[in-house]
Amino acid sequence: MKNLRGTLSSKDLWSGLIFFFFGVVFVYFGRNYQMGTAMRMGPAYFPTLLGALLTFVGIILMAKTFIKPGDKVESMRYSKVIYITLANLFFAFMLRRIGVVLSIVLLVLIGAYASQKFKWSYAMPLALGLAIGSAIIFVLLLHLPLPILGQWFGG
């Protein structure tokens, strides 16, 4: 009984369940679209392939837990979850208003602040690199209709 209790509180078991759940969801919703082939991928190809891989990883993690239980899940740190959630909500609501670059910088900084190891010297270069790289890739190269500078800055 003690071993089962340790297994049920294992990080690997819960991670595996999360991977498995999202993998099954991707495969389930992907079945409504045309699959295509490897040479001419349809809209279902990538989500189905990704879902199958996530499901497989989930099964491996859950099986590993029953062979050798891993670290136990710690108590939930709600303040950290709140920071991460707020960072994503801020990004979603402010993207059009302040643009891709500033939205991503603030997303990364707010999200990084949730860490106990937060340091401006690491977070700021990461935020700037991700913001500039995302603007180049998504806006300039892929031509996604996102403002580099938002409405508030005349973009």
For 100-142, the pLDDT digits (tens) are 999 999 999 999 998 888 899 999 999 999 999 999 999 999 8
> Which pLDDT score, from 0 to 100, does residue 13 have?
85
Q: Residue 71: is its pLDDT beyond 90?
A: no
pLDDT band at 150 (very low <50, low <70, confident <90, very high): confident
> Which pLDDT score, from 0 to 100, does residue 1 have?
43
Percent of the chain clearing pLDDT 70 (strictly above): 89
pTM for this structure?
Answer: 0.61
* Crossing angle (nearest 10°) for helices 120-134 and 78-113: 70
Domain ranges of the chain: 2-67, 78-153
Angle (CA) 2-20-52 rounded to 5° is 145
Q: How far apart are CA 44 and CA 51, in angstroms?
A: 10
Mean pLDDT for the chain? 86
Q: Residue 23: is its pLDDT beyond 80?
A: yes
The average pLDDT across 60-85 equals 80
